[in-house]
Amino acid sequence: NAGVTQTPKFQVLKTGQSMTLQCAQDMNHEYMSWYRQDPGMGLRLIHYSVGAGITDQGEVPNGYNVSRSTTEDFPLRLLSAAPSQTSVYFCASSYSIPGGVNYGYTFGSGTRLTVV
Amino acid sequence: GQQVMQIPQYQHVQEGEDFTTYCNSSTTLSNIQWYKQRPGGHPVFLIQLVKSGEVKKQKRLTFQFGEAKKNSSLHITATQTTDVGTYFCAGNSGNTPLVFGKGTRLSVIA
């Protein structure tokens, strides 16, 4: 049981390049989300998904795309990297408990992205 | 939109002292969650509170959820160097995504 696996762990991009951050979970969680963490800003939600085939925008979605073709995978695509996207990116997954709320999130170990 | 405010932003304590961080929401929450992130690590789920006035304990950590379900606190008794890290609260209403506070960074001086 690996939990939530993120790849790569580190990445340096040039401005304008595109790339995909991978996220996979093996816990059969229906809920997955992407956050970015910047100093002093806490965790800000980029996109989330409540199940395969369903995605929605979070607080800071501009410049990012997601898809959810399977329950296990939730990749995050940077369309044209900008220095403002330099950050640490975390993927998280969860499941629903009685009452309709999500149980505590399981986070991946993060991807540290630098855009130069 | 929903906002979750957390104070203080930083806290430096001597080992053995107590520590408390507070969390306040602009809206009534259906649940509050607490996470710990060690330096260089990822957030790790600690606990979830769903009932008004709920109090839960994990060894030296005590978590409270306010009667109005708009505030929460985490109290650590007799801090240890292993408690170092950033503590985040997070909450949501209904099926809305979890909103995180900006965290309280705890430093423990041995």
Taking CB atoms and an 8 Å limit, are A101 and B102 in contact across chains? no
Nearest-CA distance from B77 to chain A in Å? 23
CA A52/CA A80 separation, integer angstroms: 25
3-state secondary structure of A77: strand
Q: Is A22 on the interface with B (CB under 8 A)?
A: no
Note whether A25 and A93 are within 8 A (CB).
yes
A98 touches chain B (CB under 8 A): no
Task: Please write the tens of the pLDDT for every residue from A40-84.
Answer: 888 999 999 999 999 999 999 999 999 999 999 999 999 999 999
How do residues B38-93 score in pLDDT, each as one tens digit?
Answer: 999 999 999 999 999 999 999 999 999 999 999 999 999 999 999 999 999 999 98
**CB contact (8 A) between residue B33 and residue A106:** no
A44 burial class (0-12, 13-18, 19+ CB within 10 angstroms)?
middle
Q: Which two tokens stand for residue B3?
A: 């906002």
Q: Which of residues 26-45 of A touch B (CB under 8 A)?
A: 33, 35, 40-45
CA B20 – CA B8 distance, rounded (Å)? 9
Residue B55 in tokens: 């109090």
Confidence of residue A98 (pLDDT cuts 50, 70, 90): confident
